[in-house]
Structure 1
Amino acid sequence: MSFPVQGSAAVVSPERRAEILAAPGFGKHFTDHMAIATWTKGAGWHDAAVVPYGPLQLDPAAAVLHYAQEVFEGMKVYRHADGSVWSFRPEANAARLARSARRLALPEVPEQMFLEAVTSLVRADEAWVPSGGESSLYLRPFMVATEAFLGVRSAHEVKFLVIASPAGSYFTGGVKPVSIWLSQDYTRAAFGGTGSAKCGGNYAASLAAQDEAHEHGCDQVCFLDATERRYVEELGGMNLFFVHDDGTIVTPELTGTILEGITRASILELAEDLGHEVSERRVSIDEWREGVASGRITEVFACGTAAVVTPVGKLVSRDGELVHGTGGPGEVTATIRRQLLDVQYGRAQDPHGWMTRLV
């Protein structure tokens, strides 16, 4: 399915665009266009196009407003030194969106349609892809149920969109370790729920705990499993990794309550390339605490699309603080972060074929 450019966007002037790209922040500014397509029961996907960026018109009875039937993705586009523009593992984002859609009873977007939407939008707004530092163009593909109907069932009308926002470096003054608040009153997901889907409800459910973390002076919140309240799951929006003194790298296994991060999967492969033994298994909060205290766990880091790889400096809970190492980024964390960024920005070889050229 093609996404032809339709309409005449109120294009931001080159001067204003340059000002924005000089200090874009994250999620504050948006490009001139967006990709959009409609799905209706019986007709399937249709009316695909790249149109001027602007507000959506939703009926007050739209299903997404009442029953939160929606899913989304997050991915980045990078400008290489030669001016070309590349995306990182877009097929993986397409596959995850399809998995999320199945769990939320939404129609799947075929992989080729997903890739065409992303490519068409980036080509239309190529001037918005920043260069220099760790800047990128952040893409947000998403689906929302737009049918005006208050009955509780899967919607018969859905819209798929892709919007884009220039993003600056996550760490503006160098990589800084984050502090983690251990949530002991809230859980993020339960078995059989939507924890493995990328849907807004999961993030909404994490916000009270995130606010609690901020109240205790922490940057992020860590959730434990909902059954025993002892196994580490993930942060509000990132996966966790533990580096052991024998070089082994461990991350909590995917039990159906953890989002399968694309950065997470990439790090598992990169770590093996670098000679580390990697393990996916359950990690208890006691193992985390005892491992750091004894020196067996030498580094802890989180990963996600926005921050890529983030060192963890300390864990804070009602029981006190646990500082990790010197409180700064460790050697393994820094190496993995650098290796991943070098692939994404075209400074290193891409042996796994993760990068796709768009422009």
Structure 2
Amino acid sequence: MEPSSESPVPGRGAQSRNVPSRFGLAAREADGDWRDHMAALAQAEGGPPVKLRTQVTEERPRTILSFNRSPDIPFDRAINAYRGCEHGCVYCFARPTHAYHDLSPGLDFETRLFAKPEAADLLRATLAKPKYRPGPIAMGTNTDPYQPIEHRYRITRALLEVCLDARHPVTITTKSDRVLADLDLLEELARRRLVAVAISVTSLDPVLSGKLEPRAASPAKRMAALGKLAAAGVPTHCSIAPVIPAITDEFMEEIVQRAAALGIASCGWIPLRLPHEVAPLFREWLSVHYPERGDKVMGIVRSIRGGKDNDPDFFTRMKPTGVWADLFRARFRLACKRAGIGKAKFELDCTRFRAPEVGGQMRLL
């Protein structure tokens, strides 16, 4: 039995499993597992929906560093320590990647996770190869490196230790104040111009955040983390992402103002993207939480995406068009001008790179 879209699924962003049709997967039928049993029991007793537990599977890939040739993103290599993300952000553009595992981009994406405990060893081996040439490694481009299970696995920290040992530049994008647990490493990396951190702040309303991104850090904690990173000398960027028309855009100016007050030198915004299964998931979320304005929200989304729910083309996917898009840009530029904040370009140092020692130990000096 699938969770009903008529009432919120406790503690989760997606409201159903939403099995993708583009791979020809069959719709999930009740097969008597614990979820079906508990859901049926709750329905029979007239109780609230049962909370779904998070399951983590450890996987051991042969490589950890992935390369890309996308012309509209500022990095050519990335690491994702985890697949899936417990933060449960309903708008997450990475959700469709779960379909490649025959899992749903809906609830499976945020409840059936994969961890890569050997990631640091794989990275060390890759960086030690004679033909490797350094370039900033992006972390958090697909799923959050500081999602809740990082507290248990510490994979992200191990990866940062390898980067510090090899003097290799790295960038981090997260929605969690858990990044502060690695402040000691980030300070060392920052002193060598080897790191930049972006924290995404979607709104300043904790109630809205609890619906939109239920297991991410609260907006207040994210803003506080931005300030602590900046105070520690870590190059820090405030990313207002995504901007959701008629849902979160009202917070744009205040986020910019608060970031500037915290000493943040860089701020940017990214419009909502709804690729593949994310669009129906988001529509379903609107029907549960904001049924009275769902049509308005999607109407604006289509207006900035050429009449479609999503624009997948390079460059334009990051740069919406139309009257509403122009309005958001004008508002953001004016807010930044008033706050005295811009969009800094953090130049990381690739000249200090040294191939790491292999065999499990790192240098002392």
| TM-score normalized with structure 1 length | 0.28
**Greater helix share, structure number:** 2
